[in-house]
Structure 1
């Protein structure tokens, strides 16, 4: 007998390929050449960076 949850289990979705990697020493995302990823407009447009509005709704000084 198969457990009920396994009927609806899905295989894990692989992480998407990104043109940048996290550098823990610098604490930011960098491109393969070592430049900061946030300065590359094409990367930002392709990866769909978002911003949070949570602070704006809870603090008047954000």
Structure 2
């Protein structure tokens, strides 16, 4: 009787480095159409908040591209 050897099952190489998908960070500000600036939850301008600027490096949003028709 001949015994057949079976190779051990292995996972694809990339699975050893895969990490669970993380949620996208949520900005602590939102765009106010009336003022046309990003504002914090308390209503103050996000651009005036130095700790926020230091932590996020920017307060830009995509809303400006939708409001300025003269950029063509």
Specify the SS of the correspondent of 1:42.
helix
Matched, 1:32 2:41: yes
Cross-structure match for 1:45 = 54
* 1:41 to partner: Cα distance: 0.3
Using the size of structure 1 for normalisation, the TM-score is: 0.52
* 1:32 to partner: Cα distance: 0.3
Distance 1:25 1:44, change over 3 A: same
> CA-atom RMSD, angstroms?
2.1
For structure 2, the 5+ residue unaligned runs are: 1-21, 60-72
For structure 1, the 5+ residue unaligned runs are: 1-12, 51-62
- Structure of greater Rg: 2
Deviations 1:14-50 (A, max 9, x none): 5421111100111000000000111100110111129
Specify the SS of the correspondent of 1:30.
strand
